[in-house]
Amino acid sequence: MKWSNFFIPTMKEIPIGTEAVSHQLLLRAGLVHMLTSGVYSYLPLGLRVLRRVEGIIREEMNAIGANELFLPCLHPMELWKQTGRDEVLADVMIRFRDKRKRDMCLGPTHEEVITNLVKDFIRSYRQLPTVLYQIQTKFRDELRTRFGIVRACEFIMKDAYSFDRDKEGLKKNYDLMYGAYKKIFDRCGLETVVLEADSGVMGGDVSHEYMVPAPIGEDAIITCDSCGNQTGANATYASGKICPKCKKGKLFSQVAIELGHIFQLGTKYSAAQEALFLDEDGKQRPIIMGCYGIGVSRVIAAIIEKHNDDKGIKWPKEVAPFDVEILPVPGADDNTEINELTDRYDRELVGLGMEVLVDDRQESAGRKFNDADLVGIPLRLTIGKRNLAQGNVEIKIRASSEVITVEKGSAVRKIKELAGTAVCAAKN
């Protein structure tokens, strides 16, 4: 892919009104564009990151036997009235009446809709368990949007739902999802803290949150300096209190972003919406449900928060928009060799299955280098007159800022070696 054919509107200056590093870099690196407060467009570069994160999620969901579907954004309010959440979520629901005089809303979440769907198809215990998931846009009328795509009015979520005949089945699916979430966040380059949590308006008896310490979070991880016990709380939680578990250590807090939340819902929705099945004895019973959510938009922001420096983003290799950037630096005279090497490296790397971005713009070397660091592709292959005079080219590892000089004939082999190791994963 040539940079000149790709839409990457980078910015030199920090946008006015942005306080989060991730928000600033998302805008400056040309990943997103703000249409209005809390509403963002994903530009081509940002969409590539989004698709890679979604790909990781799909792989891990499919690996535990979940089936992907896609549910409507438009919801009839009668479904929400069945569970009483039309009132519970009234502050964030975007409601309207359509031309048929039906009361509708844009889906803030999908428990009611998925329960209504399963109710029409699952009749017997023989059809259980079933696990369904989607990656979908949610809509919430947030009064206080913050930190760019971290808290927005329109955002992307992965939500999954398990349907079981009993609590033992629910626990099995819950444990599978618990492990899958850990793998997803690890592959995205995020070290999460998993905490027992309050189920809140979702309902159910058991839930866990996946948190990532970051300065822009709206939650907190509370840790005892003696026994190490960890709990979650609102970010305003006061440090310095005595640990309620060991009774001797002091608590300290870390601000954190909640990226995922999983719930053992039980029968809250199935009972209210009469999603029933016949057991072995021919008796009708409500389906036992679990719910599992990941804020996909938030994951992207969290990755940037954890993987950046003063020059820009340092993408972990599994979520990077491209694997390699080729950066030719033409001289004032004959550039035939530079152009030929650029084409050759591009062709050979693509042949190895890599995604390659070639910065072919007629810009200064300084502008190209600055944009390369800003965009943060894991490996950069620079072809310039000075090194070529010695038969060499230069490889930069964005994660560590290490620069390696290699013989021009071995550059592709070295890129392949680096791309296959953990060295490409960004480090703090």
- 419 lies in some domain: yes
Look up residue 106 and give its two tokens. Answer: 């844009």
pLDDT for 192-204, tens place per residue? 999 987 666 665 6
Residue 423, pLDDT score? 38
- The mean per-residue pLDDT over the stretch 318-346 comes to 93
> Under 8 Å CB-to-CB from 334, ≥6 apart: which residues?
none
- 119 lies in some domain: yes
| Statement to judge: residues 205 and 260 lie in one domain | yes
Q: Which of 85, 33, 295 is nearest to 190 (CA)?
A: 295
Residue 204, pLDDT score? 65
- 246 lies in some domain: no
| Statement to judge: residues 296 and 386 lie in one domain | no
Q: Which of 340, 272, 30, 290 is nearest to 171 (CA)?
A: 290
Residue 240, pLDDT score? 79
**Is 304 a residue whose pLDDT tops 70?**
yes
- The mean per-residue pLDDT over the stretch 393-411 comes to 97
- The mean per-residue pLDDT over the stretch 395-411 comes to 97
Distance CA 45, CA 29 (A): 8
Look up residue 130 and give its two tokens. Answer: 């079933």
**Is 427 a residue whose pLDDT tops 50?**
no
Cβ pair 21, 148 in contact under 8 A? no
| Statement to judge: residues 91 and 133 lie in one domain | yes
- The mean per-residue pLDDT over the stretch 328-350 comes to 92
Distance CA 238, CA 250 (A): 11
| Statement to judge: residues 363 and 404 lie in one domain | yes
Residue 229, pLDDT score? 83
With a pLDDT cut of 90, the percent of the chain lying above it is 83
DSSP 124: B
Average pLDDT, the chain: 93
| Statement to judge: residues 157 and 287 lie in one domain | yes
| Statement to judge: residues 347 and 208 lie in one domain | no
pLDDT band per the 50, 70, 90 thresholds, residue 426: very low
- The mean per-residue pLDDT over the stretch 282-291 comes to 97
List Cα–Cα distances, 48 to 27, 236, 322, in angstroms: 15, 35, 8
Torsion of CA 348, 352, 355, 357, to 10 degrees: -10
Q: Which of 272, 306, 340 is the last residue of a domain?
A: 306
CATH code of the domain in which 113 resides: 3.30.930.10
Reported as type and span, the H/E element at residue 83 is: helix 77-83
Handedness of CA 204, 210, 213, 218 (dihedral sign): negative
Place of tokens 């998925």: 114
pLDDT band per the 50, 70, 90 thresholds, residue 66: very high
Residue 306, pLDDT score? 96
Look up residue 218 and give its two tokens. Answer: 């709206």
3-state secondary structure of 380: strand
Q: Burial of 206 by CB count in 10 Å (0-12 exposed, 13-18 middle, 19+ buried)?
A: middle
pLDDT for 122-176, tens place per residue? 999 999 999 999 999 999 999 889 999 999 999 999 999 999 999 999 999 999 9
What angle do the packed helices 411-419 and 336-351 form, to 10 degrees? 40
3-state secondary structure of 193: strand
| Statement to judge: residues 365 and 264 lie in one domain | no
Q: Which of 122, 206, 132 is nearest to 165 (CA)?
A: 122
With a pLDDT cut of 70, the percent of the chain lying above it is 95
Residue 425, pLDDT score? 39
pLDDT for 228-262, tens place per residue? 888 877 665 556 788 888 888 888 888 999 999 99
- The mean per-residue pLDDT over the stretch 318-322 comes to 98
Residue 218, pLDDT score? 83
Residue 228, pLDDT score? 83
Residue 54, pLDDT score? 98
Which range of residues forms the domain containing residue 287? 31-217+256-306
- Asked which of 15-24, 118-127, 400-409, 418-427 is least confident by mean pLDDT, the reply is 418-427
| Statement to judge: residues 123 and 184 lie in one domain | yes
- 277 lies in some domain: yes
- 15 lies in some domain: no
| Statement to judge: residues 157 and 299 lie in one domain | yes
pTM value is: 0.92
3-state secondary structure of 153: coil
| Statement to judge: residues 300 and 383 lie in one domain | no
- 227 lies in some domain: no
- Asked which of 24-38, 72-86, 211-225, 372-386 is least confident by mean pLDDT, the reply is 211-225
| Statement to judge: residues 295 and 368 lie in one domain | no
Residue 238, pLDDT score? 59
Residue 247, pLDDT score? 87
DSSP 247: S
What's the total number of domains in the chain? Answer: 2
Residue 235, pLDDT score? 67
